[in-house]
Structure 1
Amino acid sequence: MKHLTRLALLVAAATVLFPFLAILTAALQPQSNLSPGLEWPSDPQWGNFADAWTTAGFGALLRSSAVVAFGVVPISLVLATLAGYGLARSTSRLNGPLFALLMLGLALPYEAIVIPLYYDLRAVGLLDSHWSLILPLVGAFMPFGVFWMRAHFESLPKELVEAASIDGASHWRTLVSILLPTARPALTTLGLLYFMWAWNQFLLALILIQDPAKRTAPAGLGEFVQQFGRNVPLLSAGTIIVITPIVVVYLFFQRHFVKGILQGAVK
């Protein structure tokens, strides 16, 4: 049984690592090679990364993606934490219907709101700005974030809140001083998910930001594909440039991410 488990883990790891290896080997092939295979090139063309960086202007695109991601994550975490705490501790009769209404947002596709969202943002003069992505993404991420934080706060023992109430602590003091220290794994996991979702956003960035200099890296990569659709090594190099920040952030926070996913009780 132990060997079967190890074999299953090796197969799962291979299915994840194989696409990255294929993209890397393709990115190091000569640009004249229109159909690169999976063989490691005898003369790796590391200059493809520099060519892709300068040709697509990934410096400005990555900077724009970072502004959007680091704008979305803290705002979303604060709002999701406050809403999750309120729904978890509220005894109002409207608690259930309000939560159910909020959860409907999980089933709302971007395609259904992008057109009215475009006209609304144009009316208030936010098109072609980073706020045209930050504000809609914060709203789009709220249903999942509230669901996540509500589940965390409901899993905590009620004795924690009752003891704080007996000691005279306010709701704000209870949240900040007692409950938030236990929520670090949950907040870290949610923040990583928010970062990945905001960084990978393509459709809204493509429609709401028309200025190529202000678009995010995935949207810029889409234009890069249109211009160099047959240059597979250059496209592969550009793809690696776009996904590298997400991989680095995940590797840095992977322990907290796994701990947040597996957290089921307070020790």
Structure 2
Amino acid sequence: MISSRERVLNYAILTIFAALALLPLIGVVASALTPAAESGPSFTWPHHLDVGNFGTAWRQGHFATYLTSSLLVAVSVVVLTAVLAILAGFSFAHFDYPGRSLLFYVTLIGLMVPPEAFVIPLYFNLRDTGLTDSYWSLILPQTAQSLAFGVFWMRNFFRSVPVSVIEAARLDGASDWRLLWRILVPTSRPALLTMAMLVFMWTWNEFLLPLVMITDESKRTAPLGLAFFQSEHTTQYSVLAAASIIVALPVVASYVFLQRHFISGMLSGAVKG
């Protein structure tokens, strides 16, 4: 039983760490709302708020195009990863065939290989097939990168489903396909949404692959576009801060919207190895 003194101390420590985490964010927001004439590299509280910096960043940075590209790539990666991870996770969790464990552990190698290790040979392979400078050069590699985590995540969830539920479905004559899509997938909603949220965030923030694969400005993703925008506006600190918020806002908004499911999935999605 936690005493009142321990509870107060816990809340005090959490409050301090929360303040330390929020302080840089408050600084970026304050800088984005600072008039251009008052902006500087150090933190200053604006005398009056200027939301025009967001409009300036949006127009000059072409972020409508960049955000559309990022959204197309991220949603495609999430959908492909979710479908493949569900199928593979179900196979590893409930089918018994030779080499199942070995194949599963080989799949997990994808969690250990950093993109820097394969991006150069990947570029030449995609160039030879004519896929560079296209959305497929971003969607396919990032789906492959995310699939190891997705398979691990969904396999663990499917293994956590009570055996009685599966046996009852099979006694009712449910096929494997129906068992998966009618029973297991609907019950996996928290875990599935958590996986989708994480994959969306990783894909949205990816910088190296777009930098190597994309030369067409109309296909630049938001982080890559922000890097080029920063190099062109190195001293316009308020506009740069506004552009950073524009790029980060979709991830923040999706997390806020799915927060309840995200926390639920994190608590229950990996309960069995």
Q: Above 0.5 in TM-score?
A: yes
Segment of structure 1 superposing worse, 37-46 or 135-144? 37-46
Residues 1:88 and 2:93 are matched in the alignment = yes
Deviations 1:216-258 (A, max 9, x none): 0000001111111222212111101100111111111111111
Counterpart among 224, 232, 240 of residue 237 in structure 2: 232
Instruction: Report how far residue 35 of structure 1 moved.
Output: 2.8
Partner of 1:147: 152
- Which aligned pairs between 1:9-48 and structure 2 lie closer than 5 A? 9-33=14-38, 35-48=40-53
How far apart in 2 are the matches of 1:13 and 1:108? 32
Residues 1:99 and 2:104 are matched in the alignment = yes
Segment of structure 1 superposing worse, 31-40 or 120-129? 31-40
How far apart in 2 are the matches of 1:47 and 1:252? 27
Q: Judge conservation of contact 1:23–1:236 (CA < 8 Å) in 2.
A: yes
Partner of 1:161: 166
Residues 1:201 and 2:206 are matched in the alignment = yes
Partner of 1:173: 178
Deviations 1:118-139 (A, max 9, x none): 1111122211111111111111
Instruction: Report how far residue 43 of structure 1 moved.
Output: 2.1
Aligned CA RMSD, in angstroms, stands at: 1.5
Query: What SS is found at the alignment partner of 1:128?
Result: coil
How far apart in 2 are the matches of 1:230 and 1:41? 17
How far apart in 1 are the matches of 2:20 and 2:100? 43
How far apart in 2 are the matches of 1:158 and 1:71? 33
- Which aligned pairs between 1:61-76 and structure 2 lie closer than 5 A? 61-76=66-81
Question: How many residue pairs align between the two structures?
Answer: 265
> Which stretches in structure 1 are left out of the alignment for 5+ residues?
none
Q: Judge conservation of contact 2:31–2:39 (CA < 8 Å) in 1.
A: no
AA at the equivalent of 1:178: I
Counterpart among 219, 243, 266 of residue 261 in structure 1: 266
Query: What SS is found at the alignment partner of 1:118?
Result: helix
Counterpart among 214, 220, 227 of residue 215 in structure 1: 220
Partner of 1:188: 193
AA at the equivalent of 2:239: L
Counterpart among 123, 128, 132 of residue 123 in structure 1: 128
How far apart in 2 are the matches of 1:5 and 1:64? 43
How far apart in 1 are the matches of 2:17 and 2:48? 31
Q: Judge conservation of contact 1:72–1:138 (CA < 8 Å) in 2.
A: yes
Deviations 1:184-235 (A, max 9, x none): 0000100111111111111101111111121000000011111112222121
Where has structure 1 moved over 3 Å in runs of 4 or more? 36-39
AA at the equivalent of 2:178: R
How far apart in 2 are the matches of 1:113 and 1:37? 39
> Which stretches in structure 2 are left out of the alignment for 5+ residues?
1-5
Q: Judge conservation of contact 1:70–1:195 (CA < 8 Å) in 2.
A: yes
Deviations 1:31-67 (A, max 9, x none): 3446344342012222111111111111100111111
How far apart in 1 are the matches of 2:105 and 2:71? 33
AA at the equivalent of 2:19: A
Q: Judge conservation of contact 1:52–1:235 (CA < 8 Å) in 2.
A: yes
Fraction of identical pairs, as percent: 46
TM-score scaled by length of structure 2: 0.92
How far apart in 1 are the matches of 2:44 and 2:61? 26
Q: Judge conservation of contact 1:62–1:216 (CA < 8 Å) in 2.
A: yes
TM-score scaled by length of structure 1: 0.94
Query: What SS is found at the alignment partner of 2:234?
Result: coil
Segment of structure 1 superposing worse, 206-215 or 12-21? 12-21
Q: Judge conservation of contact 1:26–1:37 (CA < 8 Å) in 2.
A: no
Partner of 1:8: 13
Segment of structure 1 superposing worse, 39-48 or 112-121? 39-48
